[in-house]
Amino acid sequence: MATMVQKTGSPRKAESQRLSRILEGLDRRFPDAKCALDHRNAFELLIATILSAQCTDERVNIVTRDLFRKYSCLQAFATAPLRELEQDIRSTGFYRNKARSIQGAARMLLEKFGGNVPETMEELVELPGVARKTANVVLGVSFGKAEGIVVDTHVTRVSQRLELTRETVPEKIERDLMAIVPRARWISFSHQMILHGRHICKARKPLCHLCPVEHVCRSKDKTTAFPPSKTAAQAGRRSRG
């Protein structure tokens, strides 16, 4: 079983206490965390999540606002001219692959699943363009099923900085997180970690002075615990004193 990575070899009790502090900090900062992708049903969420690969949620929401008006049902996506669909989602990047995945998923849902989005991991990952990350989003948000933990670039970065895993492959990171985070927290934990990585624990310059778990973070790329302006002001006062 995976355990939280500790430099000092602390006992399991200390590891559990540290995880509790992390979860408490995330709860304080993101008490109402939820999926940022706009959607009205499971299929729209499925499409939006496919589009979100290598693209910001903000951009996806801009694109789907018109996309879901133009293609209002599965049949519309399944029969749309592929080149036209590609242009409709072009600004999300990798639009050719995404268009093929969306159309393939729509057709499979109609032909194999009676036009319904399946509610199991095994069936969801059969769909074109759907891996565990997308399936976890759909299962957690649309069906309230905690089958795993969403691991995107944000969750990967934050989990490594907090020493919750040493792994770099999403599936292995997910396995480590599932082993230490209570299952009842998997859905909310995913949303909280994504928001934390997007708004605070950023890739190039983490905002550690705003971090709710800074006190238990030992990341090598931590920044000062104070905003630059405040640090400069304090330094100025010390020099004058």
The DSSP line for 102-144 is: HHHHHHHHHHHSTT---SSHHHHTTSTT--HHHHHHHHHHHH-
- Tokens representing 159 are 């989990």
Gap between the Cα atoms of 87 and 81, Å rounded: 10
Query: Exposed, middle or buried, 220 (CB in 10 Å: 0-12/13-18/19+)?
Result: exposed
Gap between the Cα atoms of 11 and 23, Å rounded: 19
Active site residue 70: no
Active site residue 133: yes
Residues 88, 98, 152, 176: which is the catalytic one? Answer: 152
Residues 57, 70, 98, 133: which is the catalytic one? Answer: 133
Q: Which residues are catalytic?
A: 133, 152
